[in-house]
Chains A and B, each alone.
Chain A
C-alpha cells in the first residue's frame, strides 16, 4: 500500500506527513530481514560465511581449478615421482621443498597429485552433505507439519517413529549396509559407485530428519492455535494452503537453522565413514585419504594434515555459522 503524496486528511483535518527519516525508522521488517541484519554485524558469522563460500566455490569449480593449476587425479607412472625403496615422493614434501607442479605434494606409494585429490574430496563431501541436508530437511519438515497439524493418532505414530530412529545409532546402520552393498554390486564398479553414494545419502537422511521434525512439530502445535490460522480456517482455506501459505513462512527459522547445522554433521559423517572404509566407493574422499595417510604419518605428516585441515576448517566454519544463524533468529539473545 502506498500513501498519496502531500499531507494526509484524517477525519476532515489535515495532518502533516511525518518527515522521511522518521517514517523509515518505523518501517516493519520481517524476522528473516532482522536476522540477516544481525548476522551481517557478527564478525564470526561473516568470516565463517566467507570460508564456506570459498569451499563451495572449490567444490563447484573444482574441474576448472584443477585445469588452471595443471593438476589431475589421473594416475601417473609411480616410478617418475616415487622413490623405489622408501615409496616417498622424489620432489616436494616431505623431503624436498615446495613443488609448483604439485602444490600439495604427491601421495606416497602411488604418486597421485594431492591437491587434485583434495579438491575432488571437497566436492564429494559438500555434494553429498548438501543432497542429504536438503532431503532430510524436506522429510523432517513434512512429517513435522503433518504430525503437529493433524494431531491424534497420526501425531502419535510420527512421534513414536521419531523416538525410535533417535535411539538407533546411525553408524551401526551404516556398518550393516556396507557389506550388503558390496555383496550386491561388488562385481560392477559403476553400479557400486552409484549405489554406495546414494545409500550413504539414504542412511544419512533416514537418521537425520528427526531433529527438524521435532522442532517443526513443536512450532506447528503453537501456530495452529494462533488467530491468523483460525481465521484462514473460518474463511474456508483448504488445509494444504494453510500448511504451505500460513504455516511454512513462520517456520523459516527452525528450517534454516537445522539445515545449516545438518550440513557440517553430514560432512563429518561422510568423511568418518570413508575413514573407516565403509563410505563412498569410486570417488575421492577426505576420509579415504586420512585412512591411507595414517600409515605414512611418521615420514610424511603433511599428507595426513591436508585432508584433516580440510575437514576441520569446513566443519567448524559450518557449525559456527549455524550457531550464529540460530542466535540471529532468536530474539532473546543479546550481543
Chain B
C-alpha cells in the first residue's frame, strides 16, 4: 500500500511538473511580447511593439533571461517569497507566489483563495448529487431489468446525456431563474457565514449539474449492477439465506461501484471544465469564470494560474480515486 502510494504520488508529481512546464512555455513563447499588455495598461496606451518602454518592461519582468532560469525562479516562488517588478514598483509576493494580476496588481494566490471555495462547493455538491442519484437509480433499474420502466429510463438517459451540458444549464437558468423565478437567488455565500444560504443559493446549480451528470452514471451503474447481480458470489449469498438488502447492497453494489469510481475519476476533468460553463451561465465568481474573464483582457498571470490549478486538481483527484479503489475492491492489490 505504502509503495503504491509513493509511486502514484511521484507519477502525479511528474505530471504536474510537465503540465506546469507546458503552461509556462506556452505563455513565454506564445505572445508577441508577454509584457505588452501590462505596458499598454500602465502607460495609458503609449506603448507600441517597438517602443523602448516595452523593452524596459520586458527587462524588469525578466523576459530577457533564459526561459529555464525564469521557470526556476517561478518554481522557487512557490515555496519562498519573491519580489516581482511590475513597471517601476517592486511588489512583494509571499509564497506560494503565482504572480500578480496585470489588471489590479493583486496577488494571484490571494484571489485564488476567494475563488477556490466557489468552484469546490459547486463540484462537491454536484458530484455527490449525481453519484447518489445515478447509483441509486441505476441499481434500482438493474433489479427491475427488462421492465417498461427500465427500458424507458435507459433510452431517455441516452438521449438526455447526448445533449451538450451548457445548453441544459443555459436553458434551465433562463427558464427557472429569469422567466419563472422558481429559483430566484443563485448566488454564492460562504459556507461558514451562512450554511442555509450557501445551500439554497447553489441548489439550482447542483440540481442542474447533478441531474445532467446522473444520466450517464445511471447507465454505467445499471450496466455494472446487471453484471454483478449475475455473478456466482451473489447467488451464493442468496443461497446462504442473506436478506435481499444485504445481497444487493453489500455484495452486488460494492463490486458494481468499482467501474463507476473509475469513470468518476476520469470525469473529474469534465466536472471542472463544466464549472467554467456553469459559473459563466449562473454568474458565480469561481475559478472558471475568473480564468475566462482573464482571457478577455489578456491577464496572462491569472490565465496561467487557472490552467495550472485546474490541471493539478484533476491529477490529485485521480490519485484519490486510485486510493478509494483499493478500499472498494478487495481484489485490487496495490503493488
Chain A residues with a Cβ under 8 A of chain B: 163-164, 166-173, 175-180, 182-184, 264, 268, 271-272, 275-278, 290, 294, 297-298, 304, 308, 311-312, 315-316, 319-320, 323
Contact = CB atoms under 8 A, between A and B. Distances in A.
A33 to B, nearest CB: 26
A143 to B, nearest CB: 18
B100 to A, nearest CB: 17
B307 A172 contact: yes
Contact of B164 (A183, A268, A276): A268
A320 B164 contact: no
A169 B31 contact: no
- Of the candidates A169, A278, A312, the one having the most CB atoms from chain B within 10 angstroms of its own CB is A169
Contacts of B294: 179
Contacts of B162: 264, 315-316, 319-320
Contact of B298 (A163, A179, A297, A319): A179
23 contacts: A163-B15, A164-B15, A167-B311, A168-B311, A169-B270, A169-B273, A169-B314, A171-B273, A173-B307, A175-B295, A176-B303, A177-B26, A179-B295, A180-B30, A180-B31, A184-B32, A272-B166, A272-B277, A276-B292, A298-B179, A312-B167, A316-B159, A320-B162
A213 B307 CA distance: 25
Given A312-B164, A312-B167, A172 B311 contact: yes
Contacts of A164: 15, 18-19
Nearest to A184: B32
Those 3 A-B pairs whose CB atoms lie nearest each other, nearest first = A180-B30, A319-B162, A171-B273
A268 B162 CA distance: 10
A47 B171 CA distance: 26
Given A168-B19, A172-B310, A276 B163 contact: no
A290 to B, nearest CB: 7
A312 B311 contact: no
B280 interface: yes
- Of the candidates B158, B164, B178, B300, the one having the most CB atoms from chain A within 10 angstroms of its own CB is B164
B167 A176 contact: no
Classify the interface of chain A: helix, strand, loop or mixed. helix
Given A166-B269, A172-B307, A311-B164, 16 more contacts: A169-B273, A169-B310, A172-B273, A172-B306, A176-B303, A176-B304, A183-B31, A183-B32, A183-B36, A184-B31, A272-B164, A272-B277, A275-B166, A290-B170, A294-B170, A320-B159
Classify the interface of chain B: helix, strand, loop or mixed. helix
Contact of B163 (A175, A179, A298, A315): A315
A291 to B, nearest CB: 10
Given A172-B311, A312-B163, A312-B164, A294 B174 contact: yes
B205 interface: no
A271 B164 CA distance: 9
A308 B310 contact: no
Contacts of A315: 162-164
Interface string B139-171: 000000000000000000011001110110011
Contacts of B159: 316, 320
B255 interface: no
Contacts of A179: 31, 294-296, 298, 300, 303
A297 B19 contact: no
B75 interface: no
B27 interface: yes
Interface in B173-211: 174, 178-179
B303 A182 contact: no
Contacts of A298: 178-179
Contacts of B179: 298
A242 to B, nearest CB: 32
Given A167-B311, A271-B164, A278 B158 contact: no
Contacts of A182: 298
A319 B219 CA distance: 15
B276 interface: yes
Interface string B201-240: 0000000000000000000000000000000000000000
B122 to A, nearest CB: 15
Nearest to A301: B174
A167 B269 contact: yes
- Of the candidates B23, B167, B280, B291, the one having the most CB atoms from chain A within 10 angstroms of its own CB is B167
B172 interface: no
Interface string B18-43: 11000100110011100011000000
Contacts of A304: 174
A192 to B, nearest CB: 13
B15 A167 contact: yes
A123 B262 CA distance: 37
A277 B296 contact: yes
Given A183-B31, A183-B32, A320-B159, A170 B273 contact: yes
A74 B178 CA distance: 33
B318 interface: yes
B266 interface: yes
A276 B276 contact: yes
B126 interface: no
A86 to B, nearest CB: 18
Contacts of A271: 164
Given A168-B311, A311-B167, A312-B163, A176 B32 contact: no
Interface string B284-299: 0000000110111010
B295 A178 contact: yes
B315 interface: yes
B4 to A, nearest CB: 16
Contacts of B318: 167
A315 B163 CA distance: 7
Nearest to B26: A176
B167 A308 contact: yes
Contacts of A167: 15, 269, 311, 314-315, 318
A34 to B, nearest CB: 23
A272 B310 CA distance: 18
A169 B269 contact: yes
